[in-house]
Structures are given as structure tokens and as C-alpha cells.
Amino acid sequence: MNVPTSYVLILSAVLFILGVLGVLVRRNAIVMFMSIELMLNAANLAFIGFARANQNLSGQVFVFFVIAVAAAEVAVGLALIVAIFRTKHSIDVDQISSLKG
Amino acid sequence: MSAESYFALAPLIIFLPLAGLLINLGLGRRLGERFAGIVASSAVGLGFGVAVLQFLALQAEPEGARVVVAEWIRIGDLAAPWALKIDSLAVTMLLMVTGVSTLIHIYAIGYMHEDVRFQGDPGRYTRFFIYFNLFVAAMMVLVTGDSFLTLFVGWEGVGLCSYLLIGFWYEKGEGGIGNALAGKKAFVVNRIGDLGFLLAIFTAFWAFGSLRFDEVFQAAEQMGPAAAATTTVITLFLLVGATGKSAQLPLFVWLPDAMAGPTPVSALIHAATMVTAGIYMIARTSPLFELAPASANLVALVGAATALFAATIAVGQFDIKRVLAYSTISQLGFMISAVGIGAYAAGMFHLITHAFFKALLFLSAGSVIQGVERGHHHAAHAGHAEHFDPNDMRGMGGLRGRMPVTFAVYLVGSLALAGIPPLAGFFSKDEILADAAEGHTAVYLLLTAAAFLTAFYIGRQVVMVFFGKPRSGAAEQAQESPAVMTGPLIALAGLAAVGGALNFPGLHSLTLFLEHTLEGLHAAEFNPLVAGLSTGLGLVALGLAWTVYGRRALQAGDADPLSRGLGSLFTALNRKWYVDELYDWLFVRRYVAAAGWLANTLDGRFWHDWFHDTFLARSFRLGTRWLSEGFDLPVIDGAANGLAQLVQGAAARLRTVQTGYVRNYAISVLVGLLLVMSYLLFR
């Protein structure tokens, strides 16, 4: 199956942009996290595409690193959201603005 | 010790009175009146002893000696050590001053004892003797000085002591200030004379390059006619100085006022010693006067005119001391005219005899005054309290019986003053008249007239005070003075009686003695015509005084018999020919007005009010206000505050970036990322 690398990259870019839009537009913290995951995965896809194009497995190895980091980050982030929900009884990020200057 | 070595003791004559005054200064108050008086009198008495030693030394070494006491000034060419010139002229003065001073000191022990109690301040007794000793020390400096400078130091010193002693009772006198004003008048008038003296000293130094008498006289004689003008100028200025110190026309006005001082002061300073400093000074500088005959003539005329002028005023005075004061001025005129015509020996002879009988008269007058004051005290206690002036002769009379010793010595003194032979005054005054008759006719006539009036006014005084009936309760109860006072009086009376022996015609002891110092002295021969005329005039005047004042005893409240005869002339005499009023209008008021203008207008209004307060202070205040409000506040504070405000404003605006919304931050990250990427892609 000869998929041109450009298709993979375009898909990766589209996913990334969707993720960015999701982070910027949505107010729900969990949805924001999902968008962040989407961005991370878009980057993973780009890595895979280039690994395949350059016949170099380093790209795929790096994907493992990214997944591990994403997982850790989610763990921490979700713990934070649960803690915030306990005090604020809401996960609307617009309401977490007490660091306003 | 050989006689010459006595010269080395000469400085003691100054240091002994100084020691006396220092002892009294430290211990006098604690150790009491008797101690203070004895220390002071002994200091001067020992000084007399030293003077005798100097006389003996002169017998062995007639030319005298120069004794250097200390280094003083050394500036460039001017070397002026403090040195003493002990020669016959100086020793004559030393003997007279210390001798008479000792007697007056002893007298003052008794007199001041009563006086401080009359005036109500016994604590002031010691101060009197301190000033008195200071005076003697200063007079010694004056007389022994070997240069104009040293003489002047003594000159100023005696002037100071005169001021201190005239104003001894400074809070008493007319209006509570009269005595102080008299002291001030003496000092100021003397200052005018001193200015003349200083100008003479400056001119002498400028012309002859030295201040020492020997060197100046030598230089003047060497330069001879070339220096005639300069010598005339110097001698004229010296005359001004002598006029001030010896109370001649026109600077005599201080001496009658000086009678405000206690009587021993009047006797010592204003009769016997200080006022003779002018005559001594002229005698000392005689070589200069010999080179300037015009000045010498002027000196003689001033002296003769003063003699007559003062004698006329003395006729019209009622204050016992004022009569004697004007008499002193008149007799000083005799002496000044004597040295003016070149009869230095006659002048010095009269100086000595005058010291004897005038001191005697003053001290006796003091005895009379205190006798009357004691009587007043007595009368006041007995219930007759009168408001009276103890010095006024109109309140005296008949004291011959109540105060016999004082009367006897006063009579001796008066006869001596009137020039009745064989008392001392006759010989000395006659020698002056004889010298004047030899070619100085105007001087002779003036002096003879003055001599006539002298006998008249002193006769008037004796009759008014001692004869007739007492004219007041105080005179009725007058008491004789104690022995400590009458003793010196008797001693002085003895000197006044036999003092003529100092320069008997024929023997001329004093003339010969002085010839060692003053060259070219010639002793006038005894002139029987002159002597007879003056004696005759004196007796006539005394008789006239007795006729006017004594034949019909004066009653209390009577006007002076002379005033009935002379009318307004007598008033003029009594008011001293209005000289004080003339000076006041001519000089004093102008000076006070000028000083007032300088002080109030120039210094006060212009300098102080306008220049300082308005101009300087106000402009300074305006300047500093601009600096602080116009510059410091807006500019500097503005810069500092503005900077802070700038930062604050920027911070406030920047703060708004931190909205607290995560999504805003995310957009910023995105935008930044796009910028970086576009830069990297399109560079």
C-alpha cells in the first residue's frame, strides 16, 4: 500500500488544528484535555509518517515516549481537575481565573 | 654697693607700686582696710626710698644712666626696648611724685575710711588703693621713659587711672551719673590732646628714624636748619598733647569736672602729678623746643593766657574744690609759660613747690569738707537735717575755731600760693616772673596780673571758709580731722614753708642739678624790683579780699559781695566764661548729631533696615523660595515622581494581560508559535 507521505502529514495537520480549536473554543476542562490528547496524537501521526518515509524506526520509538508522557500528563491533569471540582463544583475553565492580575 | 650700682634698682620704682596693687587685689578685701592702706602707702614709700637711692647714684655719676628693663618691640629698623632714663630731670620728678604720693596715701587711709562710710559702700575701700597704686606705677613709667613710646605708655596709663578715680563713685553725682560723666569728659578731652601727642611721635619717627629721646635730639641738632619746619610741627603737636594733659587753653575743661573724684585723687592726680606731666614732657623735649622758637613762644603765650583766664574764673567759684581746680590750671599756666620762655629750671622749681602747697590745699580742703560733713551728721542726729552741699563755701564760715590744725596748714598753703615770702611759692613764682621780665613783656604782664588774682581768690577762700560766723548748722558742729589726716598735712605745710630752699637765688641748687640733663640753662639773677612788685601786689590782693569778705562777716543766704559790685561780670566768672556751653554748642552737639545720623540713619535705616532686611534678606528668601518651589518641587520631584508614575501606569496596563483565563494564554502560545514558524520558514 503506497500511501504518499503528504497525505499522512495533511491528516496530522488537520487533526492538530482540530485539537487547537478544541482547546481554544471549548470551556469544559475534560474536553480541553481530549483536544490536547488529539494534538499529541497528531504529532504522533506525523512521527510515524516520517519514520515510514525515511525507513527509520527512531520515529516509531519516539511515539512510545510521547504516549508515555501523554499518559502521565493525563493522570496528573485529571487529578488536578478532580481537585478543582471539589472546591469549585464546576470544571468550566472560565471560572478558574483567580490568578487574574 | 657703690653708688652707681643703685641705678640698677631703678625698675623697682615701677614694680613696687605694681606689687602693692597686686597684693591688695588678691588679699586686700580679706585682710581689711588698715592692711590695704598700709600696703599701698608702703609700696609708694619704698618707691621714695628707691628714688633717694637714684639721687645718691646721680651724685656719683651726674650724667645719669640708661637701664634696660625688657625687650619689647623689634620690627625691621624699629627697636624699642623698655628702658629707663635716670637723669637729674627724671630723678627730680621721681622724688617729688613718690614723696608727695606717700603723704597723700597716708592721708587717704583716713579720708577714704570716712568717705566710704559717708557714701555707703565700705567694700570699695580696697579698690581705691589699687587704683591709686596703679596710678603711681603709670606715673613712674611716664617719668622714667627713655623714649617717646615709653613716655606715652605712662601718659595713657595715668589718663586711665584718672578716669577710673574720677568716676570712683560712678553711681553718684548729678542725676546718678554725674561722676561717670566727669570721668568720661576727662578721658575724651585728654584723648584730643593725646592725638596731638601721637602725631608728634609719628612725625618724629618719620623724620628722625628713632623714638629714643637721645637719638631724636641728636638727629634734630645735626640736621639743624633743614629740619626747622619738621621740628616746629613736632613741637606744636607736643604742645597740643601738653594742653590736654596739663589742662591749658583750650583743653582745660575736664579738670574742674574732675573734682567729682575723692579729694586725695584731686590732690595727687589733678594737682601734683598727672597734670604736671605736660610740663615734664616739654622740659624733656627741650632740645626740640630750642630748635623751634616759634613753638616755644606759642607755648609761653598759651601758658600765660591760661594763667590769667583760669585765675579770673577762680574768683567767681563757690565750690571749695573748684576754686582750687582753677587755681591749679592757672598755676600750670605759670609752669607752661616758664618752660615756653626757656626757663626750664624755674618751671620745674614751681612744679615742685606747687605740688607741695597745692596738694596741701586740696588735702586741707578735703579735711574741711569732711569736718563739715561730720558736723552735718551731728546736726542731723540732733534734729537739724538740712539739704546741703558740703563743698559749698557759702555754707561754711568760722571754721578757724572748730578746726584749728586744718586752718593753720591751710593758711600756710594759701600764703605759699599767693607768693608771700619766705614761703616756697614766692621763690618759684618769682623766678618765673624774673625770667619773663627779661625780654618777654607780654608774658610777664599776663603772669603778674594772674598772680594778683591768685592772691585775691585764695584770700577770698580763706576768709569765706575760716573767718566770720558759721553759716550753717553743719559748720557750727564741724569737727577736726584725725591725726592720720592732719599728720601728712603738717608735713606738707613744712615742705611748703621751706621748699624755697630748693633753688634759693644765689645757691641755685636745682638749676645746677638740672643742668646735667637740660643744657644751656641759665639762672636768672634775683630781680628785687620784680620780687618787690609781686610781693606788694600779693599783699594788696590779700588785703582787698579781707576788705570785701572779712570786714563784715557774711551771713547765710547773702549774695557774694563781689557780685553786687561786678554784676553780670561776676555771673560770667561764676559760669566759667560760658566755655563749657560754647564747647557744647560748637562741638558736642554737632558730634552727637553726626553720631546720631550715622547710627540711626546710615547704619539703622539704610544699612540694617534696607540693605540687610529688605535687599539681602528678601532677595535671598525669594531666591530660595524659587529654588524650592519653582525648581526642586516641580523638576526634581517631578522627575522622580513622574518616573514612578510611568512605571505604575505601564504596570497597570501590562497587568491586564494576565486575565486568568487559560484559553487566552493558549491563544498567545499559538500566536507566538505561528510567528516563530513563519519567521523560520520564510527567512
What's A52's domain CATH number? 1.10.287.3510
Q: Are A11 and A45 in contact (CB under 8 A)?
A: yes
SS3 A91: coil
Position B254 pLDDT exceeds 60: yes
Is B364 found in the same domain as B464? yes
Is the CB of A94 less than 8 angstroms away from the CB of B661? yes
Taking CA–CA distances from A17, the nearest residue in chain B reads B670
Looking at residue B558, its pLDDT comes to 73
Task: Note whether residue A101 is domain-resident.
Answer: no
| B398 — pLDDT class (breaks 50, 70, 90) | confident
Amino acid at the residue B349: F
So what's the pLDDT on residue B387? 62
Mean pLDDT of B72-85: 85
For residue B358, is it within any domain?
yes
Residue B67: how many other CB atoms lie within 10 Å:
18
Pair (B501, B402) in one structural domain: yes
Confidence of residue B383 (pLDDT cuts 50, 70, 90): low
Q: Which residue range forms the structural domain that includes residue A37?
A: 5-93
Q: Is the domain of B597 the same as that of B486? A: no
Q: Are the Cβ atoms of B661 and A99 closer than 8 angstroms? A: no
Determine, yes or no, domain membership for B320. Answer: yes
Please state the rounded mean pLDDT for residues A55-61.
94
* Residue B466: partners with Cβ closer than 8 Å, 6 or more residues away: B397, B398, B399, B400, B407, B410, B411
Overall domain count for chain B: 2
Question: Is B491 found in the same domain as B380?
Answer: yes
With pLDDT > 90 as the criterion, what percentage of chain B qualifies? 46
**Domain count along chain A:** 1
Selection from B348, B318, B345, B313 nearest residue B328 by Cα: B313
- Residue B382 is predicted with a pLDDT of 63
Residue B386's pLDDT is what? 57
Question: What pLDDT was estimated at residue B660?
Answer: 85
User: Which of 59-78 (A) contact B at CB < 8 A?
Assistant: none
Give every CB contact of residue A92 below 8 A, 6+ residues apart in sequence: A27, A28, A29
Distance CA B398, CA B405 (A): 14
Quick check: A96 contacting B, CB < 8 Å? Answer: yes
Q: How confident is the model at residue B527 (pLDDT cuts 50, 70, 90)?
A: confident
Q: What's CA B649's distance to the chain center, in Å?
A: 87
Q: Does residue B502 sit in the same domain as residue B605?
A: no
Distance CA B408, CA B480 (A): 12
Q: Which of A20, A23, A97 has the CB atom closest to B661's CB atom?
A: A97
pLDDT for residue B384 is more than 60: no
- Could you report the per-residue pLDDT of B448-489, keeping only the tens digit for each? 999 999 999 999 999 988 888 888 777 777 888 888 888 899
Tell me what the mean pLDDT of segment B263-289 comes to: 90
The pLDDT value given to residue B117: 86
Q: How far is CA B608 from the centre of its chain?
A: 37
Q: Are residues B513 and B662 in the same domain?
A: no
Residue A19: inside a domain, yes or no? yes
Q: Which of B85, B63, B61 minimizes the C-alpha distance to B11?
A: B85
Residue A99 belongs to a domain:
no
Asked whether the predicted pLDDT for residue B568 surpasses 90, the reply is no
What's CA B77's distance to the chain center, in Å?
A: 32
B506 shares a domain with B587:
no
Is the predicted pLDDT of residue A93 greater than 70, yes or no? yes
Chain mean pLDDT for chain B = 88
In terms of Cα–Cα distance, which of B264, B288, B129, B269 is closest to B213?
B288
Rg over CA atoms, chain B:
37
Q: How far is B627 from chain A (nearest CA, A)?
A: 42
Asked whether residue B423 falls in the same domain as residue B321, the answer is yes
Residues 6+ away with beta carbon under 8 Å from B21: B40, B43, B129, B130, B133, B134, B137
pTM for the model stands at 0.78
CB-based contact B666 A24, cutoff 8 Å: yes
Radius of gyration of chain A (CA): 17
Average pLDDT, integer, range B164-180: 88
What's the pLDDT score for residue B576? Answer: 85
- The reply to whether B433 and B507 lie within a common domain is yes
Whether residue B331 has pLDDT greater than 70: yes
CA–CA dist A43, A66 (Å, integer) = 9
CB contact under 8 A, A96 and B656: no
> Average pLDDT of A40-49?
96
CB distance B183 to B257 below 8 Å: no
Amino acid at B33: E
Average pLDDT over residues B80-107: 92
Residue contacts between A and B (CB atoms, under 8 Å): 31
Q: Is residue A83 part of a domain?
A: yes
Q: Which domain holds residue B629?
A: 582-668
| Torsion sign across C-alpha atoms B548, B549, B551, B555 | positive
pLDDT grade for B135, boundaries at 50, 70 and 90 = very high
pLDDT single digits (tens) B17-31 = 999 999 999 888 888
Instruction: Report the pLDDT value the prediction gives residue B385, as an integer from 0 to 100.
Output: 55
Closest Cα in chain A to B656: A101
d(CA A26, CA B108): 128
In a domain, B511, yes or no: yes
Whether residue A100 lies inside any domain: the answer is no
Candidates B653, B661, B664, B681: best to mutate against A (most CBs of A within 10 A) is B661
Q: Is the pLDDT of residue A88 over 60?
A: yes
Q: ipTM of the assembly?
A: 0.89
CB B232 within 8 A of CB B323: no
pLDDT at B1: 58
Contact B657 A24 (CB under 8 A): no
User: What's the gap between Cα B680 and its chain centre?
Assistant: 114
Question: Which of B502, B522, B542 is the endpoint of a domain?
Answer: B522
Looking at A47-56, B2-11, B231-240, B301-310, which range is the least confident one?
B2-11
Binary contact (A101, B660; C-beta < 8 A): yes
Three-state secondary structure call for residue A26: coil
Does residue B200 surpass a pLDDT of 90?
yes
C-alpha B65/C-alpha B57 separation (Å) is 9
Highest mean pLDDT, choosing among B246-260, B389-403, B501-515, B517-531: B246-260
Q: Which residues of B touch A23 (CB under 8 A)?
A: 663, 666
State the smallest CA–CA distance between residue B671 and chain A in angstroms: 11
pLDDT given for residue B361 in this prediction: 94
Q: Which residue in A93, A98, A101 is closest to B662 by CB distance?
A: A93
Question: Are residues B421 and B344 part of one domain?
Answer: yes
Which of B648, B654, B658, B662 is the best residue to mutate to test the A interface, defined by the most A CB atoms within 10 Å of its own CB?
Answer: B662
Q: What cell was used for B575?
A: 559760669
* Longest CA span, chain B: 154
